[in-house]
Structure 1
């Protein structure tokens, strides 16, 4: 009998993890009443040692993980900001490409600039650091280009998720407006009390917008792939990926309509016309909408190649990504395709929002957690019958130095 501490804030995910452990070939004593107060206290000293911590990142007992490297496992790497922080990731990729100029990442990541701004008063100085962006925005204004000929960019906070703070723009005025403090009354401030004040964000990335995305029924979509990293380090891409659609028809003439350009379902659910069946589909079922099976396979092959170099780039920088032997982690990785079926890597998210998969496709998440238990956990505890789950495709395998 192995003891597991399990607590994830989102019931959708928590329940799937519990079910996966209950269906495991190993027997688990599952403790679910985990808080910040007790995660590092009494439970550790009980007669049954802690074998597995499957917890929110803030609740993981890293001291226990370091002390019991061969007998205790956790569901996250302590240091992985080089992958999940957009600005740090951009730096790592730039450094990697300087050493590996023929890498697929040279063309598979949109042109990216790190953008730091302390206050709107200093935006001129900040723009000097991304002079290519400023140059192209001025060209838009001076040349009076048609909308489909303009230079278009997208800006994202380095650490935000769930589409917070993302804006598409093609003018300097639109960019400046993002950082101007909005006027608000007391009531609005109370309603938005839990939302991040984007005027306080210092670190952003600006990317050249993929303005010719592959469309289905005239709607933009991105692919949410689930990636499992195990130990030190094997990386797997889960075949059952999602296609997440924007709520509105794609319109390059209206960049301010986020529901036409941002395809995260979390910004759609409060809209009256939100339809989960239309916004969340399976990637492999896009063949029902005119995309050929061989094109889908070609896209999948591109994703495999991209992920291999993404993890090679990030794990090469030990100060920002440390893969330790007794951890595993699930990342939500976003890709987008252009009209020529070329795949671009957008970002990687730790502790992704599995709930956006929706109720209809919940079986996809459940099988992912079943596969994670089979591929990452059972082998660690000595299950000699282990075989990788059939839907997990290995994309990267490298033995790294560990600082533990």
Structure 2
């Protein structure tokens, strides 16, 4: 159980009696995953970054191919519900980093490793990274499918979401939560190695338009007067856009960098088809 509007693992606790639920604040109750996939005996989860440039009229979404696996610092057990065992949030685990073995991984990332290192660890367990990746993308797309019809069109916006995912011992992928405006701060070298290129690739993909601020002010002032006089600007909008924007409106296919387009895609089309069959 956790507060609906909290972060950094604050206010999370495990309960096994519905009578222990507090109804004084808006909360989220989730099934506890008691059989997590462990690495070296420790619980871990994943933080992936998903860029959405459009929900309507068609979903446009991209997943970044680098991210983090975040580890607990105390070996997993169901006999003790210490946050250091069960919560992988960096803000919690950083208080126990001094008890970790000092390795290159901990020097670079603290309690986090990048996806390249995670892939190597999973391959040592004969776990296919392609399988893991497909299941994560499937989980992400299904969550976006749930929200797809409820987000209005806004052609001048984009959002980076921080997805927290976990695998159980049967390699089922679980969605823990989706964070809007995830932290892009740098606490360790690994943050800089992952987040800085991701921000660069995001800007390249979104391609924010250069614009003439002086012309924009002139256009806004004039259109404000037109609204007060109820004058219909008609085709003037196209002229205004051409004056304000320093480059033409036609867009070539944007560079993906280290992003992978997940919608539109065949996978997304399959999910939409399944949705239409289930909710006829």
Q: TM-score, normalised by structure 1?
A: 0.49
SS at match of 2:14: strand
Distance in 1 (CA, whole Å) between partners of 2:252 and 2:71 is 40
Q: State the 1:270 CA deviation.
A: 3.0
Q: How many residues align?
A: 217
Distance in 2 (CA, whole Å) between partners of 1:345 and 1:313 is 13
Q: Where does residue 328 of structure 1 map in the other structure?
A: 158
Q: State the 1:377 CA deviation.
A: 2.4
Deviations 1:264-315 (A, max 9, x none): 1011223343656351001231243343576222111112122222112102
Distance in 1 (CA, whole Å) between partners of 2:144 and 2:18 is 35
Alignment of 1:249 onto 2:82: no
Q: TM-score, normalised by structure 2?
A: 0.69
Distance 1:327 1:300, change over 3 A: same
Alignment of 1:265 onto 2:132: no
Contact 1:225 1:333 in 2 (8 A): yes
Q: Where does residue 373 of structure 1 map in the other structure?
A: 203
Q: Which runs of 5+ in 1 are unaligned?
A: 1-154, 180-198, 399-404
Aligned mate of 1:389, from 239, 256, 276: 256
Distance 1:244 1:384, change over 3 A: same
Aligned mate of 1:286, from 111, 118, 121: 118
SS at match of 2:202: helix
Q: State the 1:378 CA deviation.
A: 4.4
Aligned mate of 2:37, from 210, 214, 228: 214
Distance in 2 (CA, whole Å) between partners of 1:230 and 1:289 is 33
RMSD: 2.7
Q: Where does residue 151 of structure 1 map in the other structure?
A: none
Deviations 1:12-31 (A, max 9, x none): xxxxxxxxxxxxxxxxxxxx
Q: Which runs of 5+ in 2 are unaligned?
A: 101-105, 211-246, 269-280
Alignment of 1:306 onto 2:139: yes
The 5-angstrom pairing of residues 3-402 of structure 1 reads: 155-171=1-17, 175=20, 179=22, 202-231=25-54, 232=56, 233-255=59-81, 257-271=82-96, 272-273=98-99, 275=106, 277-291=109-123, 295-317=128-150, 321-355=151-185, 358-378=188-208, 382=249, 384-397=251-264
Contact 1:378 1:386 in 2 (8 A): no
Distance in 2 (CA, whole Å) between partners of 1:329 and 1:242 is 19
Q: Where does residue 117 of structure 1 map in the other structure?
A: none
SS at match of 2:34: coil
SS at match of 2:199: helix
Distance in 2 (CA, whole Å) between partners of 1:361 and 1:205 is 29
Distance in 2 (CA, whole Å) between partners of 1:214 and 1:166 is 21
SS at match of 1:331: strand
Q: State the 1:387 CA deviation.
A: 3.0
Distance 1:294 1:215, change over 3 A: closer
Contact 1:266 1:356 in 2 (8 A): no
Distance in 2 (CA, whole Å) between partners of 1:250 and 1:356 is 28
Contact 1:306 1:345 in 2 (8 A): yes
Distance 1:322 1:368, change over 3 A: same
Which aligned segments of 4 or more residues in structure 1 are displaced greater than 6 angstroms?
none
Deviations 1:91-118 (A, max 9, x none): xxxxxxxxxxxxxxxxxxxxxxxxxxxx
Distance in 1 (CA, whole Å) between partners of 2:186 and 2:4 is 21
Distance 1:305 1:360, change over 3 A: closer
SS at match of 1:367: helix
Q: Where does residue 130 of structure 1 map in the other structure?
A: none
Contact 2:63 2:262 in 1 (8 A): yes
Q: Where does residue 214 of structure 2 map in the other structure?
A: none
